[in-house]
């Protein structure tokens, strides 16, 4: 089998045994990129020169006997993660020329472990969106059907894994941005517990919700990536000092006695019946393996979207205040005085979706409206979290669909902001509660992948991954998922 089609763990073995070399592997992935990325358009920046250099260095380390999980593995990085010396745009005109002087902590960790960087991936501008259509630069296409969206905001990260132009990628998830594109593209995506992974160097959207995580071909690869990027970081005060297990070691296809909660609210109105069917089948297959399934209820989940669309814009309005044309990024209207320059820069540099959210957030925080909107949303968030705590006293994991529908058509929802936002209705509550959430492919409907979402207790990624792994083994879909039909 061609090297780019293989999983991280398969490639690890081949590299460690010296059966293939790191430059050979990088070459295979870059070739695939040259062939399919003109169609898929997952990459905003391709770093092939750097990749060759890093592969060479990785090979030297391999020859010296070093054996680390990511040594020599080609990886793509979402373009909201700062990479020293590599353009980082957040898919926004306002940062079109921004070259960070430093690495995000996760990027630094990957470098230290000898990963090979193949490029920076497209996304919705500032991670605001669900289809990657809000990128200021290009529309990424779904490898299963090039007329459809890859999901968002980490659409480039998901499409790259599905089209084999990276072995694994990093994305970020504020309301579903890793899990929903993973579901749409038929790959595995994990949003870790809030605080598990350092956010230092992640360009902030909504800081109380943002979390970085991996997108991979298999659950095992996801476990490897998670161990590689996790851990406390003095540069991010919200990163938690919890031991980082070797998540790969917790993977046993064993669910006997496991208690699965199935929230009624995750199968409500708007969930496509075919999606519900695939997900129920997946849950039943675990029941056959000895898991106990309990129907549960988390009524506040239905308020999640409303709460999120106050809190996320509020935080974004404050986080995005720094793009003012003064220190870095775009500057327009220098002749207009400093206020005029800032106005012109922001009007020109931000897309409509971003501007809309800044305005909504500023409004929700303004005096007189703060209590009615922001404070009320915070109270709702607390109630939601308490409801999750309560059901997690009875069950080990929760399961439902990742997204209510499979990938929609390019252009289909851009004019319908509510419908677009509804595609995150099942993932947003997980961010509000700070919990880990995994999306694993659970079949195809009309030729498009469907995602099963597995939600865990705080810092219990080990169980989430184990259950995902058990399902993946039972389902036996991996071979089919290697060959997305849009590229055939
Ligand atoms: N689609 C959601 C939004 O538009 C979530 C995005 C994300 O997780 N970054 O805000």
Give the pLDDT band (50/70/90) at residue 64. very high
Rounded to the nearest angstrom, the distance between the alpha carbon of 105 and the centre of ligand 1 is 22
Compute the distance from residue 80 Cα to the ligand 1 centre, in Å: 13
pTM higher than 0.75, yes or no? yes
pLDDT score at 318: 97
Confidence of residue 485 (pLDDT cuts 50, 70, 90): very high
- Taking phi over 0 as left and psi of -120 to 50 as alpha, with beta for the rest, 337 belongs to left
Q: Which of 80, 176, 316 to mutate to test the pocket of ligand 1 (most atoms within 8 A of CB)?
A: 176
Cα radius of gyration rounded to whole Å, the chain = 21
What is the band of 426 on the pLDDT scale with cuts at 50, 70, 90?
Answer: very high
Surface-to-core class of residue 2, CB atoms within 10 Å of its CB (0-12 exposed, 13-18 middle, 19+ buried): exposed
CB atoms within 10 A of CB 331: 17
- For residue 488, what pLDDT is reported? 87
The best mutation among 78, 126, 152 to test binding of ligand 1, ranked by most ligand atoms within 8 Å of the C-beta, falls on: 152
How is residue 220 written in tokens? 């095992």
> 333-361: buried (b, 16+ CB within 10 Å) or exposed (e) per residue?
beeeeeeebbbbbbeebbbebbeebbebb
pLDDT of residue 438: 99
Q: Cα separation of 397 and 420, whole Å? A: 27
**7 CA distance to ligand 1 middle (Å):** 28
pLDDT tens digit string along 253-304? 999 999 999 999 999 989 999 999 999 999 999 999 999 999 999 999 999 9
Query: If pLDDT is split at 50, 70 and 90, which confidence band does 1 have?
Result: confident
Q: How far apart are the first and last CA of the chain?
A: 16
Query: Are β-strands 397-401 and 259-263 bridged in parallel, bridged antiparallel, or unpaired?
Result: parallel
Asked if residue 99 lies in contact with residue 85, where contact means CB atoms within 8 angstroms, the answer is yes
Tens digit of pLDDT for each residue in 84-118?
999 999 999 999 999 999 999 999 999 999 999 99
Q: What is the predicted pLDDT for the residue at 12?
A: 98
| Residue 61 pLDDT exceeds 90 | yes
**Which ligand 1 atom sits nearest the alpha carbon of residue 206?**
9
Give the catalytic positions in this structure: 78, 153, 177
Please compute, for residue 271, the number of CA atoms within 13 A of its CA located in the half-sphere on the CB side: 24
Tell me the helices (H) and strands (E) count for the chain, helix number first. 16, 11
- Ligand 1 interacting residues, C-beta cut-off 6 A: 127-130, 153, 173-177, 205, 312, 424
Q: Are 470 and 254 in contact (CB under 8 A)?
A: yes
Instruction: Express each pLDDT in 446-474 by its tens digit.
Output: 999 999 999 999 999 999 999 999 999 99
Write the residue with the smallest CA distance to atom 4 of ligand 1. 129
Q: What is the mean pLDDT of residues 221-234?
A: 98
Domain definitions of the chain by residue range: 3-261+393-487
Query: Over the stretch 382-425, which tens digit does the pLDDT of each residue have?
Result: 999 999 999 999 999 999 999 999 999 999 999 999 999 999 99
Share of the chain above pLDDT 70, in %: 100
What was the pLDDT predicted at 269? Answer: 86
Residue 397 to residue 318: CA distance in whole angstroms:
34
Instruction: Report the residue among 177, 314, 402 best suited for mutation to probe ligand 1: largest number of ligand atoms under 8 A from its CB.
Output: 177
pLDDT in tens, 174-186: 999 999 999 999 9
Q: CA 452 to CA 468: how far, in whole Å?
A: 9
The arithmetic mean of pLDDT across residues 462-488, rounded, is: 97
pLDDT level of residue 187 (50, 70, 90 thresholds): very high
For 3-261+393-487, CATH number?
3.90.1300.10
Q: Lay out the sheet containing 397-401: strands in order across.
A: 43-46, 116-121, 74-78, 168-173, 211-216, 188-191, 437-445, 448-456, 397-401, 259-263, 292-296
- 49: number of Cβ within 10 Å: 8
According to DSSP, the residues that pair with 259 across neighbouring strands are 292
How many angstroms is it from 395 CA to the middle of ligand 1?
28
pLDDT in tens, 341-390: 999 999 999 999 999 999 999 999 999 899 999 999 999 999 999 999 99
Rounded mean pLDDT of 220-229? 98
How much distance in Å is there from the Cα of 192 to the middle of ligand 1?
Answer: 16
Q: Whose CA is nearest to atom 5 of ligand 1?
A: 175
Closest ligand 1 atom to the C-alpha of 424? 1
| 120 neighbors 47 (Cβ within 8 angstroms) | yes
């Amino acid at each position: 089998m061609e090297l780019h089609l293989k999983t991280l763990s398969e490639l690890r073995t081949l590299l460690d045994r010296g059966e293939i070399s790191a430059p050979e592997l990088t070459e295979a992935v870059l070739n695939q990129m040259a062939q399919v990325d003109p169609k898929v358009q997952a990459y905003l920046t391709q770093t092939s020169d750097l990749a060759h250099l890093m592969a060479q260095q990785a090979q030297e380390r391999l020859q010296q006997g070093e054996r680390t999980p990511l040594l020599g593995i080609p990886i793509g990085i979402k373009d909201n993660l700062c990479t020293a010396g590599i353009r980082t745009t957040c898919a926004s005109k306002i940062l079109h020329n921004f070259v960070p002087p430093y690495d995000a902590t996760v990027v630094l960790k990957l470098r230290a472990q000898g990963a090979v960087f193949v490029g920076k991936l497209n996304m919705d501008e500032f991670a605001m969106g669900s289809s990657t259509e809000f990128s200021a630069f290009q529309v990424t296409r779904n490898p299963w059907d090039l007329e459809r969206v890859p999901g968002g905001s980490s659409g480039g990260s998901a499409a790259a894994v599905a089209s084999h132009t990276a072995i694994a990628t990093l994305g970020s998830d504020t309301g579903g941005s890793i899990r929903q594109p993973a579901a749409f593209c038929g790959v595995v995506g994990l949003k870790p517990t809030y605080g598990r992974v350092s956010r230092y160097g992640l360009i902030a959207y909504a800081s109380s919700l943002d979390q970085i995580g991996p997108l991979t071909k298999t659950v095992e690869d996801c476990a490897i990536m998670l161990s590689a990027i996790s851990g406390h970081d003095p540069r991010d005060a919200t990163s938690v000092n919890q031991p980082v297990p070797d998540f790969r070691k917790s993977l046993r296809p064993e669910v006997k006695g496991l208690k699965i909660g199935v929230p009624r609210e995750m199968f409500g109105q708007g969930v496509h019946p075919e999606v519900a069917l695939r997900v129920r089948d997946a849950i039943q297959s675990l029941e056959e393996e000895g898991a106990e399934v309990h129907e549960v209820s988390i009524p506040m989940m239905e308020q999640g979207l409303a709460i999120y669309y106050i809190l996320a814009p509020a935080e974004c309005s404050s986080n995005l205040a720094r793009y003012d044309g003064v220190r870095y990024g775009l500057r327009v209207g220098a002749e207009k005085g400093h206020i005029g320059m800032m106005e012109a820069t922001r009007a020109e540099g931000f897309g409509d979706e971003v501007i809309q959210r800044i305005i909504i957030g500023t409004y929700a925080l303004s005096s007189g409206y703060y209590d009615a909107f922001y404070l009320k949303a915070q109270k709702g968030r607390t109630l939601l979290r308490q409801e999750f705590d309560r059901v997690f006293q009875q069950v080990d994991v929760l399961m439902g669909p990742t997204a209510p529908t499979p990938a929609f058509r390019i252009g289909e929802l851009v004019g319908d902001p509510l419908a677009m936002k509804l595609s995150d209705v099942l993932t947003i509550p997980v961010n509000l509660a700070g919990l880990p959430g995994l999306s694993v492919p659970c079949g195809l409907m009309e030729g498009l992948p469907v995602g099963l979402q597995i939600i865990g207790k705080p810092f219990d990624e080990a169980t989430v991954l184990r259950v995902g792994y058990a399902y993946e083994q039972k389902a036996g879909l991996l071979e089919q998922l290697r060959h997305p039909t849009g590229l055939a």
